[in-house]
Amino acid sequence: MPKLFSYGTLQQDNVQLATFGRLLHGSPAQLIGFKQEMLAIRDAEVVRASGKTHHPIVRSSANPQDCVAGSVFDISDAELEQADRYEVDDYQRVEALLDTGERAWVYIAAGRKGR
């Protein structure tokens, strides 16, 4: 079963219901070696689902002291595909290390590699 780390809108109940048709149960975690900034979202469907015109996005900082707080969820392969459809082209999915020692899928700024 895949693990998905979210630091942004995929933690919102309304986004989970719209994307997965259910609420996810997650655990707190931190993404190691990344910094967070905000991104203007131009996809009307994503803005409608999240209720926000700006979403957080992370970029690798190459500094293991930098961490981004969020939640890690157990999801199905089909739900991972649904998350791929939800995220806009500014994001890419990579596997990354969490402070829990787990590796999880996370959406980072496109064009960068995860750890």
What is the SS3 assignment for 101? Answer: coil
What pTM did the predictor assign?
A: 0.87
What is the SS3 assignment for 83? Answer: helix
Task: Taking the CA atoms of 77, 80, 85 and 89 in sequence, report the sign of the dihedral they define.
Answer: negative
Encoding tokens for residue 76? 């199905």
- Which superfamily does CATH assign the domain made up of 3-109 to? Gamma-glutamyl cyclotransferase-like (3.10.490.10)
Helices marked H in the chain: 13-20, 44-50, 77-86
Q: What is the pLDDT of residues 46-102, one digit of tens each?
A: 888 889 999 999 999 989 999 999 999 999 999 999 999 999 899 999 999 999 999
From the list 44, 59, 70, 62, the residue with the least C-alpha distance to 92 is 59
